[in-house]
Structure 1
């Protein structure tokens, strides 16, 4: 028997799990992926790395800023740039009116998740296939890749809302409130396609920009010189992200390589970098749930059920990584009230981490 099972090892799930674990609850985190972080994703390839999910952090609120400051003190984050250029079809590339520091992890954005995961009991590569109540009035969580079943007093689901709905809909109105299921079904996401490319270090002069955001483009959403985040990179690495509409058109393609090539050729043309579409290597990743397009307006989504169940994530509040952190904190508070109402730590406990 575990006090709390958290499904999802992204920012929200890890923050929630840490709060509850530090308060004294027994917590197990389960994630279907082989690595931590969710959208804080880094891929190791060709003796280097590429951040193909969240590109950087741009803190706004006090709590998230304090976490970013701590990660800087631990040499996990550092300022990358204060200028993300903008591209419009009318004006081309131009400097933005407002500048603010963007923080990146030289070891890859997944290093943030690894820091947040310290001392937690985490089961990776474990897909949850079913959730059911037990006769003893607890939650039973069935895992696909093993015959093991987890039993918990409370459940936190920290994954994209459509995935949460697939797990919870079979429970029906007899266990979950119909309004809760309806609210969960209202949340929608934009998809994205990320292309990671590598080039010989000395083949071409690199552009003087580090990142460009495409304001109104039909194909592209963002491009970044990812290798500029690394202290030492053996080659030039770019990450190109599609627009939501382009990703939607090609989301179900069985082979994404031609789609990646199309994006690169297009970027090479409009940015006047003809060598960009002939990389030494290229990998393409599909993000089905990249950015919340219709978020849930509150920090968490509670199920009005006999058994405690809370949904959280970057889709609660809709403010990406910062919203995910606040949602994770909110989920821990709700679960704590359901259970023993122990004293939750403040965010300063992360200062004890190495």
Structure 2
């Protein structure tokens, strides 16, 4: 299978890059190891409902995210969740104005929207990259699902690597002509992990929650040793029949428990901690699920919009490892990577607007 461009990773950076190149006229294949688009803007189906276990909501971080919010609100994919954010510190709640937008169908609706019309190879992990005799990139792919209809290799003129740096370094090395300076920059990028708990409660607790009538939809814990954020996820859903909460751990808590073989116990520990601060019955869920994010937040993004390799065939890294970090940085990095790839190939006219 031959393409102009292979994009590795269907997160925000990979999707924004692939869309800009596709719209310019390039043939693009996106390779994604999971079963859905969006990366850490993720939703899980659980116990007859949905829970956003990745990105909590979209908020204006810059022009790229703001324009995306406007487009998705206009298309009834996003809606305003709350215009106030709360922070718990020193035993008290403090509020500040901030508009937070969510997708009632789940935050992965954002990725689904950006993935429209793209050729995405789900359930494929890149095992190795090499060069062909006629100066192309050759990608060898590992199957991570049961879909054997998609080929396990592809050839492309250019490659965009839009995944966390440690994952990229599993197949990027000096053997394929990458210079030590490029690889050293990738190795310098560090990430903070996060453990996320999704917990559901008895439908009878819905009335109790109504009686409590908490002012908050979500609470941030800036300096807590264990907690980073707690959200009433079921308040995002139109059809919710029971309270569902999502809890994000602190980086230090995740570091301590990242390799635990007993994730339910780890999740229960976070719920116990949450119940001490917010609502006592939060430590008694009907069900809970736990997800590990090894590369939740880039700690030290590189001061570039994208990281291009020199002295080899066109290859560039993009994502929240570049620029401002967060979703804004990922979107802008993907667009910058598309511009760079275009400069190495045909220099086709690109849409420079942020019209998602």
TM-score of the pair, normalised by structure 2: 0.94
Q: What is the distance in 2 between the residues matched to 1:221 and 1:208?
A: 19
| Counterpart in the other structure of 2:22 | 21
Matched, 1:297 2:298: no
The structural deviation recorded for 1:297 is: 1.6
Deviations 1:28-63 (A, max 9, x none): 000000111110100011121100000011113223
Partner-residue secondary structure (3-state), 2:172: helix
Structure 1 segment 35-74 matched on structure 2, within 5 A: 35-74=36-75
Structure 1: gaps of 5 or more residues: none
Matched, 1:152 2:153: no
Structure 1 segment 190-205 matched on structure 2, within 5 A: 190-203=192-205, 204-205=208-209
Contact 1:292 1:318 in 2 (8 A): no
| Counterpart in the other structure of 1:130 | 128
The structural deviation recorded for 1:349 is: 5.2
Partner-residue secondary structure (3-state), 1:152: strand
- Give the CA RMSD over aligned residues: 1.4
| Counterpart in the other structure of 2:170 | 166
Q: What is the distance in 2 between the residues matched to 1:347 and 1:325?
A: 13
Matched, 1:280 2:286: yes
Partner-residue secondary structure (3-state), 1:168: coil
Aligned residues between the structures: 344
Matched, 1:269 2:271: no
The structural deviation recorded for 1:148 is: 2.3
| Counterpart in the other structure of 2:109 | 111
Matched, 1:330 2:336: yes
Contact 2:67 2:355 in 1 (8 A): no
| Counterpart in the other structure of 2:139 | 141
| Counterpart in the other structure of 1:185 | 187
Q: What is the distance in 2 between the residues matched to 1:38 and 1:276?
A: 28
Partner-residue secondary structure (3-state), 2:299: strand
Structure 2: gaps of 5 or more residues: none
Which range is displaced more, 5-14 or 230-239?
A: 230-239
Contact 2:78 2:103 in 1 (8 A): yes
Contact 1:85 1:93 in 2 (8 A): no
| Counterpart in the other structure of 1:242 | 249
The structural deviation recorded for 1:177 is: 1.2
The structural deviation recorded for 1:165 is: 1.3
| Counterpart in the other structure of 1:339 | 345
TM-score of the pair, normalised by structure 1: 0.94
